[in-house]
Amino acid sequence: MSISRKIVDDLVANDVSFVTTVPCKQLAGVIEEVENRPGMFHIPANKEDEGMGLCAGAFMGGKRPCIIMQNTAIGVTINTLATLIQFYRLPLPMLISFRGELREPVACQVEMAVHTKALLAQMHIPTYHFHKHADADELDAILKYTFMCSKPVAILTDASFWGGYGDQ
């Protein structure tokens, strides 16, 4: 089974049915799987804070949400995480491609990578880092944890997890 399908299977198994995404080459397979999965509503967002607003509304409407984005989005969404998701105590799994890690070809990506875990730690956001495919075995438990504690939770997935950057 592809890793993208396994990830979406875990989302479905945890009743996640509203997924907002901002595109990412590494997460393209997951996004395609979300788009094609029956019973899952996929709504692309123009910016990640907008996506978090959509997720907040969907949760209050009775749907379990998830946001799929790049780690650069942490820089975009600090205020939304603090004043909406955390202040109103809303659960939000964040499946994040961790650009700027080992095998990264674009130097600028490293500039946000070095801040990513520090910012998440400063925000007291539980953070998990998938480096090998076997790490994704914990996704089911991470999703259950997220909805149990009603917090934003970060799942960082690096280039090694996705098998590098191809011929980039």
Partner 1 sequence: MIRSEILRDIAPILRDHLVICNIGLPSQELHMIDDQPSNFYMLGTMGLASSIGLGLALAQPKKVISIDGDGSVLTNLGTLPTIANNVADNFILLIIDNGSYGSTGDQPTYAGKKTRLEAVAAACGCEAVVTCKAEETGTALKAALASGKMTVIVAKCDSGNIKVPVITKDPVTIRDRFMAEVAR
Minimum distance, C-beta of residue 159 to partner 1, in the bound complex (Å):
28
Both tokens assigned to 150: 């009603």
Region of 7-15, 43-51, 111-119, 123-131 interacting with partner 1 (CB under 8 A): 43-51
Would you count residue 31 as binding partner 1 (CB under 8 A)?
no
Minimum distance, C-beta of residue 113 to partner 1, in the bound complex (Å):
25
Would you count residue 94 as binding partner 1 (CB under 8 A)?
no
The one-letter amino acid at 90: L
Could you tell me how many residues of this chain bind partner 1 (CB under 8 A)?
Answer: 32
Would you count residue 54 as binding partner 1 (CB under 8 A)?
yes
- Dist. CA 137–CA 144, nearest whole Å: 13
Strand order in the sheet with 41-44: 41-44, 16-21, 64-70, 92-98, 152-158, 127-130
Residue whose CB is less far from partner 1, 85 or 120: 85
Q: Is the backbone of residue 152 left (phi > 0), alpha (psi -120 to 50) or beta?
A: beta
- Dist. CA 124–CA 153, nearest whole Å: 9
Residue whose CB is less far from partner 1, 90 or 156: 90
Residue whose CB is less far from partner 1, 125 or 156: 125
Would you count residue 76 as binding partner 1 (CB under 8 A)?
no
Residue whose CB is less far from partner 1, 20 or 71: 20
- Identify the residue whose tokens are 């989005």: 73
Region of 26-34, 38-46, 139-147, 160-168 interacting with partner 1 (CB under 8 A): 38-46
47 neighbors 74 (Cβ within 8 angstroms) = no
Q: Between vectors from CA 2 to CA 100 and to CA 102, what angle results, nearest 5°?
A: 15
Would you count residue 123 as binding partner 1 (CB under 8 A)?
no
Region of 8-16, 86-94, 99-107, 121-129 interacting with partner 1 (CB under 8 A): 86-94
Q: At what angle do helices 3-13 and 139-149 cross, to 10 degrees?
A: 30
